[in-house]
Structure 1
Amino acid sequence: MAPGTDVRYGDMGIYKLRESVRRILNLQQKDSPVIGSRLVFHFGGYDPVSPTKMYSRFVRELTRFRQTWSVASSASALLVAADRAKWTIVSNGPNWRVETDHQLFRWDDIMAGYAHRPVWWRLPMGLLAFADFVAGGVLWGYARTNWRYALFFLYPYLLLLVMVVASSYAAELAARTSGSIAIGIAAGVLTFIAFYLGPGRWAYLPVAFDDWIFSRSYIRHSDPELERRLDAVADEIISAARARSVDEILLFGHSLGAVLAVDVLDRAFSREPDLGSRGPRLVLVTAGSSILKIGLHRAAGRLRDALARVSRSPGVFWVDYQALTDVMNFYKTDPVRECGLEPTGRPIIRTVRISRMLEPESYRRVRRNLYRVHCQFVSGNERRTAYDYFMLLCGPLPAEQQARSDEGAASEIDDNGRLLYAAAPSADPARTQIILGR
């Protein structure tokens, strides 16, 4: 005890003592460079596949993680609920162990609802979505921030236009040849159906239409079931932060899922403004983000408000990973600034190269598949790079430490999967000593 310290054992003295202990433990937890447990809420993009398929993909890509980082990692059995799919991952190195509670936010059934709609409904609703987004100023916004994304937006509608023109020529040719307008109309309709069911499906035209129809619905707040699920996850985040049973709570948003992740976190902050200031680290990771897809629409005021609040909150660390070769994200852009909001320094922007995540031969095979390139943000890497999806979810280093390092975890994990720098007890409990892990 330091000389001159006055310790009182009354009620106020005990209260202050308890608060001091809490502050010390909290500081120790915040400054510790090693994660032992992590809770992950994963928000996927517009990819209407079942939780079983998502789990199978995850387990398959986990094999790459083990090989690339020379670690042991295994996933538990899949548990599927109405609004969540859950599994646990246990990862080990020679001197570290991490248990990850992985929770996949389910909205595949919501997407399936759009996919089951008939063509006669999907086409006019898709055209309505196009008109709504153009009128909302997004085409100019996309062209201003990332011309590649502007082309991605126009792609399904240009493809539809080509199909309509080709079908019209087929109808005219059939009418002239047969001398019957009815036969011409029938030929045109059949040609369009053939294009739609053949090249159209191969080119993901129905899914692209559904994506934009859903995006318009999200902006107009017309899906009460989605709203309910987002509220439920926000409450779970608050409960997990209060329980303090994990070292890190990580929200991961890929593609359009980045919008949902920001939305959920904002809902959590509206209920608990000081969320993240105590207890586990709170981290938001967005990768291949489509935030500006929604945020640049004039009617997306709710999302812009959420962006402003999340970016100003001191309780959360936010990093946004972007890649030039991914045409479905916005490269070298600050989503907060581009939405016309006051910049806050959050998120920190990290640009990565997908070509460096894969071996040259593997990258040559997938580089022309735009969807596959986009999904590398949630796939296993074949090479150690600054960005690694599985290392963020399953590795021993805090996500913030990985994001702020030029090499990510690559400079902290040796060839045998050993963590080079590990936390050790210190004489001063308010500090954490960093020692070389031998």
Structure 2
Amino acid sequence: MRLPLAYTPPDLQESDPGPVRRRHVFFVPGYDPEARTRYRLLFVRELMRHAKRFGEGRRTVSAAALSPDGLVQGWNVAAHPPSGGAATRYEVLLWDDIVARDYARSRVLSVALLVVGTLHALAWGALWRFYRYNHRYGNVILYPFAMVVALTLVSVLIGTMVHAHLGDWFGYSLGLPAWASLPLGVAAGLVWLVGIEAFLNRLFFWQLLNTWVFNWQHGQLWRPDFEARVDAFADHVIAEIAGLQGEAPDEVMIVGHSVGALAAVELAARVLARAPALWEGRTRLSLVTLGSALPLVAVQPLARRLRAEIASLVTARRLVWCDFQTMQDWMNFPGFNPVLDLKLGLGARAVANPVVRSTQLKQVVEPETYAKILYRPFRLHFQCLLANERPGDYDFFRLTLGPQHLRDRALTPIVGPEPVAAAPEPRGG
């Protein structure tokens, strides 16, 4: 793991002229079966908290609308002249139906895929690389596999005890023959697993299992459904921006969180390759990756297309890519840099991306909040999408709704005001 979390590429694009007045944000959520309900509510709630904490006043947010094909959920955020905030079109690119299908498949198949994928990663050394990048993420990946082993052993123990006490073992039995007691023992082991389903969900067992299986499958080129969805997203982005014509925004920003950061990288590469003319005028293309899980797929030997897409972005001067990392986040890879950690075959091509920056978690939340979330991996993982409690270089809403282009936000951020002091509670008489 490389420290500190700061890297500025030598051939970074020149500074963008003037403030952003109009922006179009395409947000790609992570591996989440509830994306179409979660991210709209999260955005509105946290924007209200941001405005209240920093005294900016509320910004008008339109109702959300779902596209006819069900792939895009979008809304508009009005400009905010007092803070220089840009008028923003915000669209969530949905792939939660793909995730939901993964969740709906047979539990036995999911476990089998987990076991095969984990053993495969162990065999060719990927897991050791994940541990080197972030040992906590290595533990997150191994956790479902370790749980499968533990649950299997406990189930076998329960089944053996039931079989023993119903059969002829240990001098204590109901005298059932083995052909009857053995199936009952197996059934008891399976019933126990079904009975703790809710408990396993509280431990995020199935979520982490399915997430790892997805990333492993994607690296093995076994996810044509996901590839097709990214292609559909690229078609949508190109059509949306091309259709604006004279009303083109100053900045088009593609934002990806967690596994969605992987999709955002693929999306940005395809948009740039398919429609290079869109970015020859004043509209700037920006890519933001937050809490990225990119190495989970990028290091896999068969993921050649992904590495080629990453290489195209690394050397692209028509795009600014900023990767925000959190040292304390269990589910990202702080210090990972594709230029340094992947064999991209750049040759003599100049490196223009990515800018790597820290979210500076300790600086943007109160000490009490920091202590509460430090050992809550999922809450910690989502902090980069939430409103700051204190001003800092990283601020999700100043990043996506503010007046600075991404390059300037990453290099010379305008830090907002101190939080407004809360009014004292009225005292009873």
* TM-score, L = length of structure 1: 0.81
Which of 251, 254, 260 is equivalent to 1:251? 254
Give the Cα separation in 2 of the matches to 1:268 and 1:371.
31
Which of 116, 122, 127 is equivalent to 1:139? 127
Per the TM alignment, residue 373 of structure 1 is displaced from its structure 2 partner at its CA by: 0.3
Larger mean CA deviation between 219-228 and 295-304 belongs to 219-228
Give the Cα separation in 2 of the matches to 1:213 and 1:362.
32
Q: 1:355 to 1:301 in 2, by over 3 A?
A: same
Per the TM alignment, residue 138 of structure 1 is displaced from its structure 2 partner at its CA by: 1.6
- Which residue does 2:116 correspond to in 1? 128
1:75–1:89 CA contact under 8 A, matched in 2: yes
Q: 1:210 to 1:151 in 2, by over 3 A?
A: same
- Which residue does 1:94 correspond to in 2? 82
In the TM superposition, what whole-angstrom CA distance separates every residue of 1:234-269 from its partner, at most 9, and x where no partner exists?
Answer: 234445555361111101111111111111111122
Which of 63, 69, 84 is equivalent to 1:77? 63
- Which residue does 1:64 correspond to in 2? 49
- Which residue does 1:182 correspond to in 2? 183
1:39–1:249 CA contact under 8 A, matched in 2: yes
Larger mean CA deviation between 320-329 and 263-272 belongs to 263-272
2:85–2:401 CA contact under 8 A, matched in 1: no
1:71–1:93 CA contact under 8 A, matched in 2: no
1:137–1:297 CA contact under 8 A, matched in 2: no
Q: Secondary structure at the match of 2:88?
A: strand
Give the Cα separation in 2 of the matches to 1:185 and 1:94.
68
The correspondence of residues 143-158 of structure 1 with structure 2, limited to 5 A, is 143-158=131-146
Which of 167, 182, 194 is equivalent to 2:155? 167
Give the Cα separation in 2 of the matches to 1:76 and 1:331.
36
- Which residue does 2:285 correspond to in 1? 282
Q: 1:87 to 1:183 in 2, by over 3 A?
A: same
Give the Cα separation in 2 of the matches to 1:70 and 1:346.
35
1:170–1:184 CA contact under 8 A, matched in 2: yes
Query: Are 2:346 and 1:346 aligned?
Result: no
- Which residue does 2:377 correspond to in 1? 370
2:390–2:419 CA contact under 8 A, matched in 1: no
2:238–2:275 CA contact under 8 A, matched in 1: yes
Give the Cα separation in 2 of the matches to 1:151 and 1:362.
24
Q: 1:332 to 1:296 in 2, by over 3 A?
A: same
2:117–2:213 CA contact under 8 A, matched in 1: yes
Give the Cα separation in 2 of the matches to 1:62 and 1:135.
46
Q: 1:95 to 1:334 in 2, by over 3 A?
A: closer
1:286–1:319 CA contact under 8 A, matched in 2: yes
Q: 1:173 to 1:416 in 2, by over 3 A?
A: closer
Gaps of at least 5 residues in structure 2 are 1-12, 168-180, 421-429
1:174–1:184 CA contact under 8 A, matched in 2: yes
The correspondence of residues 379-390 of structure 1 with structure 2, limited to 5 A, is 379-390=386-397
Aligned residue type for 2:60: S
- Which residue does 2:338 correspond to in 1? 335
1:40–1:100 CA contact under 8 A, matched in 2: yes
2:29–2:35 CA contact under 8 A, matched in 1: no
- Which residue does 1:409 correspond to in 2? 414
Give the Cα separation in 1 of the matches to 2:33 and 2:315.
33
Give the Cα separation in 1 of the matches to 2:115 and 2:325.
29
Give the Cα separation in 1 of the matches to 2:226 and 2:321.
24
Per the TM alignment, residue 149 of structure 1 is displaced from its structure 2 partner at its CA by: 1.7
In the TM superposition, what whole-angstrom CA distance separates every residue of 1:360-395 from its partner, at most 9, and x where no partner exists?
Answer: 223333222100100111111111111111111111
2:322–2:355 CA contact under 8 A, matched in 1: yes
- Which residue does 1:111 correspond to in 2? 99
Aligned residue type for 1:409: I
* Residue correspondences, number: 385
Q: Secondary structure at the match of 2:286?
A: strand
1:40–1:250 CA contact under 8 A, matched in 2: yes
Give the Cα separation in 2 of the matches to 1:331 and 1:173.
47
Q: 1:303 to 1:364 in 2, by over 3 A?
A: same
* TM-score, L = length of structure 2: 0.83
Give the Cα separation in 2 of the matches to 1:161 and 1:95.
54
- Which residue does 1:215 correspond to in 2? 215
Gaps of at least 5 residues in structure 1 are 1-26, 418-438
Aligned-pair identity in percent equals 28
Per the TM alignment, residue 212 of structure 1 is displaced from its structure 2 partner at its CA by: 2.2
Q: Secondary structure at the match of 1:385?
A: coil
**Greater per-residue strand proportion:** 1
1:40–1:102 CA contact under 8 A, matched in 2: yes
Aligned residue type for 2:110: R
- Which residue does 2:294 correspond to in 1? 291
Q: Secondary structure at the match of 2:80?
A: strand
Per the TM alignment, residue 91 of structure 1 is displaced from its structure 2 partner at its CA by: 4.2
Give the Cα separation in 1 of the matches to 2:339 and 2:419.
40
Larger mean CA deviation between 363-372 and 312-321 belongs to 363-372
Q: Secondary structure at the match of 1:320?
A: strand
Q: 1:241 to 1:135 in 2, by over 3 A?
A: farther
In the TM superposition, what whole-angstrom CA distance separates every residue of 1:86-115 from its partner, at most 9, and x where no partner exists?
Answer: 011124142634211011010011111111
RMSD (Å) for aligned C-alpha atoms: 2.5
- Which residue does 2:10 correspond to in 1? none
The correspondence of residues 191-340 of structure 1 with structure 2, limited to 5 A, is 191-195=192-196, 197-239=197-239, 242=242, 243=245, 245-273=248-276, 276-340=279-343
1:323–1:352 CA contact under 8 A, matched in 2: yes
Q: 1:300 to 1:137 in 2, by over 3 A?
A: farther
